[in-house]
Structure 1
Amino acid sequence: MLTVLFKKEWRTNYKIFLIFIAVLTLYTSVIVAMFDPKLGESLNAMKESMPQIFAAFGMTDPGLTLLDFLTNYLYGFIFVVIPFIYIVIMCHRLMSRYIDKGSMAYLLAAPHTRTQVMLTQLGVLLSGLIGLILYAVLLIIGCSTMLFNESVEIGKFLMTNVGLFSIHLFFACICYLCACCFNETKYSIGIGAGIGIASILIQMLSQVSDKMEFLKYMTPLTLFDAKGLQLFERSAIIGMGVLFAASLVAIIFAQACFKKRDLPL
């Protein structure tokens, strides 16, 4: 990894990271503050009046505990979408933009290998992603302790977030692979972002009714089973392992593609 390039990219992109931190702070603090076991009855009444909308966003059961509530109202949609948007933006800024404008050739003119440059840019992307998830974890623990004088079940909560990282690592590596393989932004970002958006929409459709439940097998989001991870179910852990393995394969392909391809000037 190239330390100078890593620091330069963070200086250039830290404002974007802070914007997403602010967005996470807003949504997370509001959702945590909404928790009230008595509120479950009101939410269930709303769910019965709009069942398909609640199901599409994964909000089918408010639960009785804070962890159940957060799993449904944060990890079902908000914590999937917000980091994914960050991934798409950063893949564009760290790789696609350089290639599309021909700037990558000048960056590689320095005495650095393509692998070093590629892994450094990937390091910036993943460090930001890890930062967002860690911040969300600490914010939830802090808010729950401050508001309710108790915290979530730490072991189950951390396992959920390892699973959350696995799905976003997969999306990040797929988007980065596309950014490394194509010259034009409409392909390098469009394909990677399209895969993620399609996955989210398919997941939402699969939750609307039993007739469309089969669609869940067409999206990698099914491999992220937050509730299963909290119970340490074997299938959920295997799904998380598959996501980590697929991410590694995508990184290897991205490195091989970027190393051998011709870059526009």
Structure 2
Amino acid sequence: MNFPLFRYSIKRSCLLWLVCTALMCLYAFSVVQMYDPASGKALMHFVQSQPHAMELLGMTQFDNTFTAFIVNYLYGMLLLALPMLFTILLSVQLIAQYVSNGTMSYLLASPNSRKCIVHTQRNVLIVSLLAMFAVICLATIVLCEYYYPDQLAVKHFLLLTACVFALQLAFAGLCFFVSCRCNSIGKALIVNAVLCLLFYMLRLAANVGGTLSYLRYLTPYTLLDPTGILQTNLQACFQPLVLLVLAAILFALATRSFSRKTMPF
């Protein structure tokens, strides 16, 4: 790994990281503030009366507990979509932008190999995502313990956060692979956005059920089962390991593609 390049890439992505992380922490604060134990039964009756609508939004925890409330609103939609947006933008910035503006030619003219460069940029993406989830998770736990002490199942929440991180790593591998394949920023952004949005839409369609339920086998989101994780179901807890394997394969393919590609300069 090239440490000067690693530090430079971290500094370049710092503003994007801060904005996305701050937005997610603000959302976590809003979710904790929204919780009202007195209205918990009313909310329970609402989600039970509209189960398909709630499942469409990814809110599958219907029991009247503080942990279920936090999981529903945090990992139902926004905390799956925002990190994915960050991943798309950062992966393009780390590889495709360097190729598009000619900066990559200077990096390749240095004593560093292509593998060294692509591994360095891959590590920037992984470390950035890891730091983001660590901050969000810690902030959420602190907020929950401050406003509602001992009501959050911390161990289960940590396990679920780790599983969501595994899901985001799989998408990071996909976006990084596309960025390594493309020579222009626009093409890399469009392809990544279309693929990520497609998988997300497949998830929403599969949540509707019925004749569309088979679509769940076409999206990585199926390997994330918050209900099973909170119930300590072994299958649900081990399914994210498949996502880690998928991420490793995609990052390996990205390295191979970048090492063999013909540069536009």
Whether TM exceeds 0.5 here: the answer is yes
Q: Is 2:149 the partner of 1:153?
A: no
Pairing of 1:44-193 with structure 2 (within 5 A): 44=44, 46-47=46-47, 52-150=52-150, 152-193=152-193
Query: What residue number does 1:11 align with?
Result: 11
Cα RMSD (Å): 1.9
In structure 2, C-alpha distance between the alignment counterparts of 1:213 and 1:204, rounded to whole Å: 10
Alpha-carbon distance, 1:126 to partner: 1.1
In structure 1, C-alpha distance between the alignment counterparts of 2:234 and 2:131, rounded to whole Å: 28
| 43-52 or 89-98, larger mean C-alpha shift | 43-52
In structure 2, C-alpha distance between the alignment counterparts of 1:51 and 1:226, rounded to whole Å: 16
In structure 2, C-alpha distance between the alignment counterparts of 1:232 and 1:245, rounded to whole Å: 21
> Could you tell me which amino acid in structure 1 is paired with residue 120 of structure 2?
T
Question: Secondary structure at the residue paired with 1:74?
Answer: helix
CA contact (8 A) 1:170 1:244 kept: yes
Query: What residue number does 1:207 align with?
Result: 207
In structure 2, C-alpha distance between the alignment counterparts of 1:54 and 1:263, rounded to whole Å: 47
CA contact (8 A) 2:199 2:219 kept: yes
Alpha-carbon distance, 1:236 to partner: 1.5
Name stretches of at least 5 consecutive residues in structure 1 with no aligned partner: none
Question: Secondary structure at the residue paired with 2:109?
Answer: coil
CA contact (8 A) 1:58 1:73 kept: no
CA contact (8 A) 1:40 1:63 kept: no
> Could you tell me which amino acid in structure 2 is paired with residue 160 of structure 1?
L
Alpha-carbon distance, 1:95 to partner: 0.9
In structure 1, C-alpha distance between the alignment counterparts of 2:151 and 2:20, rounded to whole Å: 24
CA contact (8 A) 2:61 2:227 kept: no
CA contact (8 A) 2:67 2:151 kept: no
1:137-170 deviations in Å (ceiling 9; x for gaps): 1011110111012252222111101101110000
Q: Sort the Cα spacing of 1:232 and 1:175 in 2 relative to 1 into closer, same or farther, 3 A.
A: same
Alpha-carbon distance, 1:231 to partner: 2.7
Query: What residue number does 1:260 align with?
Result: 260
Query: What residue number does 2:216 align with?
Result: 216
In structure 2, C-alpha distance between the alignment counterparts of 1:152 and 1:126, rounded to whole Å: 28
| 42-51 or 143-152, larger mean C-alpha shift | 42-51
In structure 1, C-alpha distance between the alignment counterparts of 2:40 and 2:208, rounded to whole Å: 20
Query: TM-score, with normalisation over the residues of structure 1?
Result: 0.92
Question: Secondary structure at the residue paired with 1:90?
Answer: helix
> Could you tell me which amino acid in structure 2 is paired with residue 100 of structure 1?
S
Q: Sort the Cα spacing of 1:211 and 1:36 in 2 relative to 1 into closer, same or farther, 3 A.
A: farther
Question: Secondary structure at the residue paired with 1:38?
Answer: helix
1:85-131 deviations in Å (ceiling 9; x for gaps): 10011011111111122321222111111111111111111111111
Query: What residue number does 2:23 align with?
Result: 23
Name stretches of at least 5 consecutive residues in structure 2 with no aligned partner: none
In structure 2, C-alpha distance between the alignment counterparts of 1:216 and 1:116, rounded to whole Å: 37
> Could you tell me which amino acid in structure 1 is paired with residue 8 of structure 2?
K
Q: Sort the Cα spacing of 1:99 and 1:151 in 2 relative to 1 into closer, same or farther, 3 A.
A: farther
